[in-house]
Amino acid sequence: MSFAVFGATMDHCLKVARKRVKAVTGVGDKLKRLSPEEYEQAVQDYAHKLFKDIAEGKKTAPKISADMSQPSSAKDFIALAEKTTECARLRIYQRAPVKDKFHPKTKLPVMKFQPWPLQEIAA
């Protein structure tokens, strides 16, 4: 079994925003390069919107940690994340077989991250 943490941290949202926000605006002949301040503001705005959407449940929570072998490691990750950055909807998920689903070629059970059943729901 492997465990992972799903949810939103501002660090993860900033990382995603830096990949998605373009440094130019407009199309064709009207391309305009954003100044570093404008670009940074656009990244911050996108990151805050993404964080808010994940926190409110409008978007699915992404996997924000590496796979871990023990749930205690995932709990430590959550504790550290809550100390260091703004967080929302942090939950431990466990990779487990999906009931009555098998891969058509290998006939092995389909594995998927599912909420860890022993996880206490924290507000």
Residue 41 near residue 75 (C-beta atoms within 8 A): no
* Helix, strand, coil percentages for the chain (3-state, nearest 5): 40, 30, 30
Q: What is the pLDDT along the chain (123 residues), one digit of tens a residue?
A: 789 999 999 999 999 999 999 998 888 888 889 899 999 999 999 999 999 999 998 999 999 999 999 889 999 999 999 999 999 999 999 988 888 899 999 999 998 888 887 444 443
Residue ranges in 62-119 assigned as alpha helix (H): 71-84
CA angle 96, 98, 101 (to 5 degrees): 140
